Structure 1
Amino acid sequence: MDDITPQDLKSRIEGSESLNILDVRETWEHEEKNIGGENVPLGTLPHRLGEIDHWKEEELIVYCRTGNRSGNAKKFLEQQGFTKVRNLLEGIEGYLKQ
């Protein structure tokens, strides 16, 4: 599935759309600033798939600081059978510039 731009995500959040969002940054990063969603650090993702398994067939937006870790998470999740994963391009940094 195609990735999502910061502009598109911001528009959807401001429209009060119900979204499945996964933050793969470290917990301390999530606590500093976030755009919501579940926080499962990339390093723990393989061991915590059961926590997000209910999103396997739903659109899942994954983000990190700049889009690199979430890009890796997207690839991993697709290998695990997640069918609609979208990486937030430019990560939270790009989102906060909007």
Structure 2
Amino acid sequence: MSIKIDKTKCIGCQKCKQVCPGNLIRLDKQGKAEIHAAEECWGCASCLKECSQNAIRYYLGADMGGNGTLLYVKDNETTIEWVIDKGDGTTESIIINKSNSNSY
């Protein structure tokens, strides 16, 4: 499991770095987020939820049934939208009300 960071969208706010439980995100020389030791990523998605610029994508590999799709989060006023960019160019969204976002 790993993440992909789009440095063209990153504003260097460091929120992703602050919430990474594995301390795997750092800033490069240009002040943009990057992941080091990507193989150690736990896949917790904390950084996705904190990134207001949608600069971080979670890689859904074949081992998870994703076949290379990328997942990111849009945080709206009352909802959280999980957006899946599929390898075939299509997009799928799952929208969850924030008041229910931590329910199991």
What TM-score, normalized by structure 1, do the two folds share?
0.31
Q: Higher helix share goes to which structure?
A: 1
Q: Which structure exhibits the higher relative contact order, with contacts defined as CA atoms closer than 8 Å and separated by 6 or more residues?
A: 1
Which of the two has higher C-alpha Rg? 2
Q: Higher strand share goes to which structure?
A: 2
What TM-score, normalized by structure 2, do the two folds share?
0.29
